[in-house]
Structure 1
Amino acid sequence: MDSTAVESKPGSWLSPAFADRAEQVAIVILWAFLAWRVDLSDNPWAPLLLLSESTIAFFTLIRRPTTRLSMRLGDWMLAMTATCAGLLIVPGYVLSESLVTVGVLLFIGGNLFQLWAKLVLRRSFGVAPANRGVKISGPYKYVRHPMYVGYGIVHVSLLLLMFMPINLLIYAIGWWAQILRIKAEERVLSQDPAYSEYMTKVKWRLIPGVF
């Protein structure tokens, strides 16, 4: 997730520090189940799914700790739904052999773009809304959420290479949550003067001219 500046409102028992660690544990557990499903799959492209989703687990583990973490249940539900969608995909079948080359090229391009965004964020990467610093360089000069753009391209490629109706449903739910998540993030981020100024320079969130 892009870095955010969110005021945390901890509950009586759940602290931001505990929630931050719990999020890491949840992502790693889901990643492990994904690795198990990929290992059992006979789809030759299944390892690409694991390769793509492994960057989420890696950057989640090395990110910078923070206590300025949103404790709003709605923020967490949107963030986890959007993030975990990719980890729930089932390696299916190739939609069409004629589309394999297109799928592989989209996979490579989408992953390079989202990895570029992650390398700019570095340890500022996270899932739930948190203040880990605002980044405005690299791909962030063109759209405000370039990592999500990369994810979208990768998701299209994986539907071509390992299609199943359930995967289409998972991605649809994930992107519904992703759009709401972006709006929720920016509603809070706009209170930060640095991000507010950034929004005036980079107009579009995902697709220039569309959204």
Structure 2
Amino acid sequence: MTTTVESQVRSAAPSWLTPRFADRAEQVAIVILWGILAWRVEFSDNPWAPLLLLSESTIAFFTLIRRPTEKLSMRLGDWLLAMTATCAGLLVVPGVVLVEALVPLAVLLFIGGNLFQLWAKLVLRRSFGVAPANRGVKISGPYRYVRHPMYLGYGIVHLSLLLLMFWPLNIVIYAIGWWAQILRILAEERVLSQDPAYAEYMKQVKWRLIPGVF
């Protein structure tokens, strides 16, 4: 007999820990971390630091307007992965420009990556989320090319920010964040693949993140 991920885990969770409660708690956490990032950027000497805040602001905005769902993974591991992947960008320290000659390239990567992830967010609109959940299957826009275009956009942006505000700690933060991001993708697809529409979509779009690689 087939059981869904959420039904498998919900029976072991405290009665008060409902998907709706977890959804709201996640929103509060993201907003708080965004506020701390804004404070760090405000007192940074790096002239490119506001770009870091700009790139992370869309996460806070779309987190606040997203559609609630009951089809939300209640696995602790899924939540830890999702929050680690999301919080990585919010914990970056505005460092120094790594190589001045690479600034134009970094700015182009930043713009391109942000436009791509914003395109994906506009397709998702209120279906955007952090923890693995089914808020509706989207297959248009950049989702025609890879199954997780928003995360691809994040990766391009993170590369640009490492060039614009390099700091050894930032390499560690992004490395941990992307380790969690890959595992998060697998966790998301475990939830979404239970939807026949998404299962069919997986057959149509082969690659998760980078065509020909993953």
Report the TM range for the smaller structure's normalisation.
over 0.9
Stretch deviating more after TM superposition (113-122 or 67-76):
67-76
Structure 2 residue aligned with 1:83: 86
Structure 1 residue aligned with 2:108: 105
Segments of 4+ in structure 1 off by > 2 A? 5-8, 10-13
Q: Does 2:157 correspond to 1:154?
A: yes
**Cα contact 1:94–1:163 (8 A) shared by 2:** yes
* TM-score, normalised by the number of residues in structure 2: 0.94
One-letter identity of the residue aligned with 2:6? E
One-letter identity of the residue aligned with 2:180? A
Structure 2 residue aligned with 1:32: 35
C-alpha distance in structure 2 between counterparts of 1:137 and 1:59, whole Å: 18
C-alpha distance in structure 2 between counterparts of 1:166 and 1:6, whole Å: 35
Structure 2 residue aligned with 1:145: 148
Unaligned runs of 5+ in 2: none
- Pairwise mapping of residues 105-184 of structure 1 onto structure 2 (< 5 A)? 105-184=108-187
* TM-score, normalised by the number of residues in structure 1: 0.95
Q: Does 2:6 correspond to 1:7?
A: yes
One-letter identity of the residue aligned with 1:7? E
| Count of residues in Structure 1 that have an aligned counterpart in Structure 2 | 207
C-alpha distance in structure 2 between counterparts of 1:94 and 1:206, whole Å: 28
Residues 165 and 97 of structure 1: CA distance in aligned 2, closer, same or farther (over 3 Å): same
Q: Please report how far the alpha carbon of residue 67 of structure 1 lies from its aligned counterpart in structure 2 after TM superposition.
A: 2.4
Stretch deviating more after TM superposition (12-21 or 41-50):
12-21
C-alpha distance in structure 1 between counterparts of 2:92 and 2:16, whole Å: 33
State the identity as a percent: 85
Residues 174 and 106 of structure 1: CA distance in aligned 2, closer, same or farther (over 3 Å): same
Unaligned runs of 5+ in 1: none
**Cα contact 1:6–1:130 (8 A) shared by 2:** no
C-alpha distance in structure 1 between counterparts of 2:134 and 2:211, whole Å: 26
Structure 2 residue aligned with 1:208: 211
One-letter identity of the residue aligned with 2:188? E
C-alpha distance in structure 2 between counterparts of 1:23 and 1:95, whole Å: 34
Structure 2 residue aligned with 1:192: 195
**Cα contact 1:81–1:174 (8 A) shared by 2:** yes
Q: Please report how far the alpha carbon of residue 15 of structure 1 lies from its aligned counterpart in structure 2 after TM superposition.
A: 1.5
Q: Deviations 1:167-205 (Å, cap 9, x if unpaired)?
A: 000000000000011112112322211111001100000
Root-mean-square deviation over aligned CA pairs: 1.2
